[in-house]
Structure 1
Amino acid sequence: MSAIPQQIADRQKDALETLLAVQNSVFAGFEKLVDLNLKATRAALDDAAAKSKKLAAVKDPQEVSAVTASLVQASPEQALAYGKQVYDIISGVQGELTKLVEARIADNQKLVADAIDQISKNAPAGSESAVALIKSSLATANNAYDSLTKAAKQAAEVTESNLNAAASATARAAAEATEAAVNVAKSTARSAAAARK
Structure 2
Amino acid sequence: MPPAHQRIIDKRGTTIDVLADVVRTALDGSEHLISLNLNSTRSLVESAAAQQGSLAEVHDLTDALALSRTCRRPVLEKLLSYSRSLYEIAAHVQEQLIKLAETRQAELNASLAASLSPLVERSRQNSPAGFWFAQATAKCALSAADCTLRVANRSARQWAEATEACVAASACAVTRAVRASA
Superposed CA offset, 1:111-159 (max 9, x none): 2222220211211233232112211221122122212221221121012
Superposed CA offset, 1:21-53 (max 9, x none): 111111111111111111011000111111122
Output the CA distance in 1 between the equivalents of 2:46 and 2:161: 36
Q: Which amino acid aligns with 1:163?
A: V
Q: Which amino acid aligns with 2:107?
A: D
The 3-state SS of whatever aligns with 1:74 is: helix
Output the CA distance in 1 between the equivalents of 2:120 and 2:3: 18
Matches within 5 A, 1:128-139: 128-139=132-143
Output the CA distance in 2 between the equivalents of 1:171 and 1:61: 28
TM-score w.r.t. the length of structure 1 is 0.82
Output the CA distance in 2 between the equivalents of 1:9 and 1:16: 11
Q: Is 1:166 equivalent to 2:150 in the alignment?
A: no
Matches within 5 A, 1:1-197: 1-58=1-58, 62-123=62-123, 124-125=126-127, 126=129, 127-177=131-181, 179=182
Q: How far off its partner does 1:65 sit?
A: 2.7
Q: How far off its partner does 1:62 sit?
A: 4.6
The 3-state SS of whatever aligns with 1:115 is: helix
* Percent identity for Structure 1 against Structure 2: 29
Number of residue equivalences: 178
Output the CA distance in 1 between the equivalents of 2:158 and 2:73: 36
Task: Give the root-mean-square deviation of aligned CA atoms.
Answer: 1.8
Q: Whose Rg is larger?
A: 1
Output the CA distance in 2 between the equivalents of 1:6 and 1:92: 36
Q: Which amino acid aligns with 2:143?
A: A
Output the CA distance in 2 between the equivalents of 1:149 and 1:27: 23
Q: Which runs of 5+ in 2 are unaligned?
A: none
Aligned partners of 1:40 and 1:82 also within 8 Å = yes
Q: How far off its partner does 1:13 sit?
A: 0.7
Q: Which runs of 5+ in 1 are unaligned?
A: 180-197
Q: Which amino acid aligns with 2:152?
A: L
